[in-house]
Amino acid sequence: ELLGARTAPEKLTLDFLDQKASLIGWTQTRSTDMLAIELLALKCPPEKLWQSLIGKTFLEPFGLNAPNAMLAASPKSVARIKANNPELEKATFYTPRPDRPPSYVMLGTLLTPDRHKASAETAVALQMSPGQIGSPYYPSGKKLSSDPLSPLVGSKTMSLVGGGFVESFAFGGAAPTNPKVQSGGDDVWVGAPPVPFTLADAVGVSSFMPAPYFANSALLNMLNPRIHYWPVTSEKFPPSEPGGVFELADGGDLESSGLLPLLQRHVESVVWVANSYQGLNRTYPWRDFCGMKQGKRSWESFDPVAAGLIPQLVDKFGYGAEVSDSLNYLIYNTVFERFELLPVACKLWWSEQRGMPAVVRFKPTVLPNDRWGLEGGNQVDVLLVYLLNVEGFNTKLPKHTQDEIQLGEHGSLAHWPHYKTTLQNPPEVTSYTMRQVNLLSALGEHAVMSHSPLFKSFLRK
């Protein structure tokens, strides 16, 4: 019911694609426009509007949108929390399923102190898990400077950000009253948050892409999510360090793959699913770099941006400056050498040329990265699943489905397979049709099943 039954490309008629095949797919078809109007009518605070919309759209159908429900790592953690905090005896907690991997990280961004300008220099990754929320490192090992939106709303601030985590149920509360324990420990008493930081808050923050633009606008600034945040101190930055209200943003504004938090945890193997928003540039001279002939061009002259590779891939290989802008702060994401990108890019291109799903395995060496607190020197085994057009899948589809794809922007499968993230079906801002969702899901299934031996050997270890 959650993901739907197995499919075969030959059976994907338009009538079949129009059916509700899975619950998780159906949520992608809900009208966020209408739900937003309902929330506005209920006078939802502007800084909570997006999180509330995400909760109603994607979490409520699964019974995961209870007001003020708290987060915890496990039922055992809930029992401990309630024992230590009797006032929470009747509180609702959401915990991960015990039959799923215990670690789960949603990536947001601590964007900037409230009413201050946002930039790549102020933004820090906010890592949100059921058990704990925070940032495990001090970016570049220093305090961060932030300029006010205007002299009328404040002054330049120097903020310490990072250093560790606080349990999720307490995130958003005041720092410890005893500054000596701000460096952490067991059963540190902190202030209770005014309202719990919920699952809807975490999912909403992790998807609120326009926040950097809003942060730098005196008019739109009020729409950004906010939280009271304080850092975890240390010998390098001893207590007490004051906290304050910070604006929050999509983790993708800083790092959209989720790879760097895994590298911080010294993960040795990663399945990286890159849901690209564009195809490769077919007019780029790929054969000059990836052909079999002697004397092919070297990696130094390869331009991954002109080749059509997406930012979440190329920024890891030292091209972050080339793909950064006012909404994407990617300049500090270098973790692999530039020369390691071209072999990966060529495998992606050859996969598309052969009509096959782009699934590529590579094992680069991790570089030191002070901004993300990475020592480097280790290798990571990566299995990259990259969304590209797959002719081997398209040609197996029933004729009427193929004809619909050929209609391009005039058909019901416009932009296939790179649907627009907004206004795919105007005037709806974010929703898709069941037909669009089911066909893209089937393509993902095809990518995995056509490489099943590779996935099995990779995951088995």
Give me the pLDDT at residue 150, please.
Answer: 85
Give me the pLDDT at residue 447, please.
Answer: 97
Residue-wise pLDDT tens digits, 32-72? 998 999 998 889 999 999 999 999 999 999 999 998 999 99
Long-range pairs, 394-403, Cβ under 8 A, ≥24: 395/355, 396/9, 396/10, 397/9, 397/10, 397/12, 398/10, 398/11, 398/12, 398/13, 398/14, 400/13, 400/14, 401/12, 401/13, 401/14, 401/17, 401/439
pTM: 0.94
Give me the pLDDT at residue 12, please.
Answer: 98
- CA–CA gap between residue 52 and residue 368 (Å, rounded): 39
- CA–CA gap between residue 251 and residue 107 (Å, rounded): 5
Residue-wise pLDDT tens digits, 179-215? 889 999 888 999 999 999 999 999 999 999 999 999 9
Give me the pLDDT at residue 42, please.
Answer: 87
| Tens-level pLDDT at each residue, the chain (461 residues) | 788 999 999 999 999 999 998 999 999 999 999 899 999 888 999 999 999 999 999 999 999 999 899 999 999 999 999 999 999 999 999 999 999 887 899 999 999 999 999 999 999 999 999 999 999 999 999 999 999 998 877 789 999 999 999 999 999 999 998 888 999 988 899 999 999 999 999 999 999 999 999 999 988 999 999 999 999 999 999 988 989 999 999 999 999 999 999 999 999 999 999 999 999 999 999 999 998 765 578 899 999 999 999 999 999 999 999 999 999 999 999 999 999 999 999 999 999 999 999 999 999 999 999 999 999 999 999 999 999 999 999 999 999 999 999 999 999 999 999 999 999 999 999 999 999 999 999 999 999 999 999 999 999 86
